[in-house]
Every structure is written in C-alpha cells, then in structure tokens.
Copies of this chain bind each other. A is one copy, B any other.
Amino acid sequence: MSQTVTAAMIVIGDEILSGRTKDRNVGHLAEILTAVGIDLTEVRIVADDAAAIGEAVNALRARNTYVFTSGGIGPTHDDITAEAVAAALGLPCAVDAAADALLAEHYARRGIDYTEARRRMARMPRGATHIANPVSAAPGFRIANVHVMAGVPAIFQAMLDAVLPTLRTGARLLSETVPCPFPEGTIGAPLAAIQTAHPDTIIGSYPKYDDGRFWTEIVVRSRDGAALATARAAVEAMVAGLSQTD
C-alpha cells in the first residue's frame, strides 16, 4: 500500500456559524480530494477571529500533508485570513509586489479604482506563492503546506482546479456501495463479523430513512481492488441470505 496523503480544511466565516450562509465548499473539496486519492481527515469551521484561525492552522498543518482554507481573503475589514495565517506561521504579512501589479493592472483595464481596500487583497505572508483566480484576479496563496483560497464557491472551485496539479496524490481509496433493504439493527452483527474478517477494507453503514422505513447503504472501501471485491461479495451474500430468510 502506498503512503497516504492527507488534508484538512478550515472554513473561515461568521456567516457560516450563524447559519446565514450554508457552506458549499466542504462537500466540493471532499469529493475532489477523494477522487485523487487524498484523505480529508478533518474540517473545522471557525469565526473571523485571528486566534481561532491561527489555532486551527497550526493544529492541522502539523498533522496533515496539506491544509486548505476557504474565506476571509477579500478587501474588507473582516477579511483577516492572510494576516492570521502569517501570524500563525510567524511570518510578516505585507503587500506582495507581483499581486499588487496584477491587481493594479486588472482594475486599470476595467476603469475601476484600485482602492486601498482592494490593495489589501495583495497582502500575503512573505514567501507565499500565488494561486490563480480566473474569476476576479485577486490571488489566493500557498505558504508552507497551507493553501489559502476564497470563500465564494465559484472562486474556491476555480482556485482548487489551479492547485490540484501541484498536489502529491495518493492511491485512490476505492469505494463500492451495496444497498441493503434491512435496517442497521438487523445487519449489525453479521456486518461487524465481515469487517473483522476483511481488515484491509473499511466498511461503513449509513442509515437511510424514507417514508417511515429504514434501510441501509453499506459502503466498502479499500485501496486494494482485490480486497474490495472479496469484501463486497461477502456483504452481498449476507444481504441475499437475509432476504431469503425474511
């Protein structure tokens, strides 16, 4: 089995914690990372608060290959992610000359004032490299193993597309789903026995509830295709056996 590559995500924004805005970036990042064989190990949603951001950055970057943040990199006073990440890494945060030139040119071409507020978006920790923003020019950035990206979903997704080719990817965790017409309580014991007998797989059981009826999605995952197929067959045989005796 090849070495695993892990990631964590930090969603930054009071508006998510108040319920005003429903996050759409966690699910997108989770799907994309899974597809390329990077395991998302943890997500934290924190407020627009430098200490909270810094604590999350330092806790998660130490134990993951990569960290991704979303939110707080715009031009207003509540956009503090760049400063907070710089402080967490013990780096100065200042206007990046290349980002400054990029933004000045972007706004000049559109006849829009390049205000001091907009210039805040050129600030990043010293040594950061840009993450291209094809939507509104203001770059995200990467510093150490931390990728700082926008909160607006269209921009977050475009930035992630730009970042993906730069990431080390792992062996993809393969996944197969077996629908099961029985509730979890019926299959709990035999499914646990199958999990024990197939240690190279991770077997998950997800209760579903539709129209007053419980059923279960059983998901078998593994980085080893043969192990996956064997465990899946065992799960299917269990479901078929229960169906016959029902």
A121 contacts which chain B residues (CB < 8 A)?
185
> With A26-B23, A186-B113, A189-B115 given, is the CB distance from A42 to B45 under 8 Å?
yes
A14 contacts which chain B residues (CB < 8 A)?
202, 204
> With A46-B42, A47-B42, A186-B115 given, is the CB distance from A15 to B192 under 8 Å?
no
**Is there contact, CB below 8 Å, between B207 and A77?**
no
**Is there contact, CB below 8 Å, between A154 and B20?**
no
Is residue A111 contacting chain B, with contact meaning CB distance below 8 A? no
Cα of A188 to Cα of B191 in the assembled complex, Å: 56
**Is there contact, CB below 8 Å, between A209 and B136?**
yes
Is residue A109 contacting chain B, with contact meaning CB distance below 8 A? no
Map CB proximity to B onto A1-22 as digits: 1 under 8 Å, 0 otherwise. 0000000000000111111111
Task: Return the contact of A42 from the options B41, B52, B135 (Cβ within 8 A).
Answer: B52
**Is there contact, CB below 8 Å, between A192 and B76?**
yes
Task: Return the contact of A41 from the options B47, B151, B186, B192 (Cβ within 8 A).
Answer: B47
A39 contacts which chain B residues (CB < 8 A)?
17
Closest B residue to A16 by beta carbon equals B30
Is residue A31 contacting chain B, with contact meaning CB distance below 8 A? yes
> With A76-B188, A192-B76, A219-B20 given, is the CB distance from A43 to B45 under 8 Å?
yes
A225 CB to nearest chain B CB (Å): 17
Closest B residue to A41 by beta carbon equals B47
A23 contacts which chain B residues (CB < 8 A)?
26-27
**Is there contact, CB below 8 Å, between A118 and B26?**
no
Cα of A147 to Cα of B117 in the assembled complex, Å: 43
**Is there contact, CB below 8 Å, between B75 and A188?**
yes
Task: Return the contact of A77 from the options B29, B34, B42, B195 (Cβ within 8 A).
Answer: B195
**Is there contact, CB below 8 Å, between A189 and B117?**
yes
Closest B residue to A115 by beta carbon equals B185
**Is there contact, CB below 8 Å, between B30 and A189?**
no
**Is there contact, CB below 8 Å, between B22 and A205?**
no
Is residue A78 contacting chain B, with contact meaning CB distance below 8 A? yes
**Is there contact, CB below 8 Å, between A152 and B42?**
no
**Is there contact, CB below 8 Å, between A76 and B27?**
no
- A binding-site residues for B, Cβ under 8 Å: 14-23, 26-34, 39-48, 52, 74-79, 107, 112-113, 115-118, 120-121, 135-136, 151-152, 154-155, 173, 175, 184-189, 191-192, 195, 202-209, 214, 219, 221
